[in-house]
Amino acid sequence: MRALLSTALALLPALDAGSAELPVDGGFSLRSASGICQAGPAQMAAFAAAAGWERHDLSWSDYEPRRGSYQDAYLEHCAQQVAAYRTQGVSVLPMIGFGVDWAADGDATYQVDAQRRITTHRRADGQIVMQESRRAGDGSWSAGEAHVVHDLDKLPIAAEHVADWSEAVRRMAARLMAPDCGVRYFQIWNDTHPDSGFWHGDMATYMQRIHLPAARAIHALGGKVVYGGWPCCGPPQALVELLDKSDAWGSIDVIDAHYFPVETMRYLHEAGEKRHHPLGVWQTEIGFTTEPTFIANTYPRFLDWALRNDPTPDRYKLFLFAAWSPDDPKAYGYGRTLMSG
């Protein structure tokens, strides 16, 4: 894949509205429109001419492992990383999430849709168990087996802790927007969908308890909000409907999806325009495939579409997932990364 990206870069100068050597703010280019997820300095240096963005997790649980106990050393370490990337001409997109154990909603029922609901319950020993129920043809509900939730960070935040979440987001965003870091865009959460494995709740609760409070905190600071990566397990039409129902178009500056074709970006672009909310359209995860022609098939189509619309620096972007994996056939991501496997 690394060789293919280098080949694609060599073949694409005619499509590029600027030079690959332009700084991120200098104009639309392959570099300004391209990012890599979870890359280190070595990986970014290897693709310095092709990718000008890096997406990096910013963990609420690491920053506030106990309520009100803010780990400033953790946040400062993250800020130093961002500042170091900036000196290399690389912009960072922080992904703020996920939840923390002490804020998880342990006693609730979430109506995922007309046929499915999720119930959580906190036992006397403090562990939270989750049970999924489905509606049968006769209208009755059939409950599945209850199991202990080990990834509590994927549960909805309890209503009484939404203010804690909002304050943590405000603090983290404020630090990274300081002049030495210069971060402008923040992604809220990631792959939020009941079928993704990253969210154990319904989408209305996500919007009200996580997305909208965080978006308000970021916008109050003058930052820009990237929607939290709508995953391909849900149709893009459902994302548009969710933003409509939640009256949330004004809460985002970038609508973001994961692992969709370029045609989906066109659809999301048009959906925002029809609602008088012209937005950036990004895919902050794309790739993760063993298909050897993926880059050669996808990037020219993406650049052609972008250049025919509004080729400003931050309107359209693709972030390859991921930078690396252990060079071991048993490793997660083996054969699907830029640098190894």
Q: What is the pLDDT of residue 120?
A: 92
Q: What is the pLDDT of residue 12?
A: 45
Long-range pairs of 121-130 with CB within 8 A, sequence gap ≥ 24? 121/146, 128/104, 128/152, 128/155, 130/155, 130/200
Long-range pairs of 235-241 with CB within 8 A, sequence gap ≥ 24? 236/260, 236/264, 236/267, 236/268, 239/268, 240/268, 240/271
pLDDT in tens, the chain (341 residues): 555 555 454 444 333 433 333 344 458 999 999 999 999 888 898 898 899 999 999 999 999 999 999 999 999 999 999 999 999 999 999 999 999 999 999 889 999 988 999 999 999 998 999 999 999 888 888 888 889 999 999 999 999 999 999 999 999 999 999 999 999 999 999 999 999 999 999 999 999 999 999 999 999 999 999 999 999 999 999 999 999 999 999 999 999 999 999 999 999 999 999 999 999 999 999 999 988 899 999 999 999 999 999 888 899 999 999 898 888 999 999 989 888 75
Task: Round to whole Å and give the CA distance between 176 and 92.
Answer: 10
Q: What is the pLDDT of residue 18?
A: 37
Architecture of the domain defined by 2-103+151-321:
Alpha-Beta Barrel (3.20)
Helix (H) or strand (E) holding 268: helix 262-274
Q: What is the pLDDT of residue 249?
A: 98
Task: Round to whole Å and give the CA distance between 231 and 193.
Answer: 7
Q: Are 341 and 327 in contact (CB under 8 A)?
A: yes
Q: What is the pLDDT of residue 26?
A: 56
Q: What is the pLDDT of residue 142?
A: 86
Q: How far is CA 323 from CA 12, 289, 339, in A?
A: 22, 12, 6
Nearest to 299, CA basis, from 279, 275, 281, 320: 320
Whether pTM exceeds 0.95 = no
Q: Are 239 and 255 in contact (CB under 8 A)?
A: yes
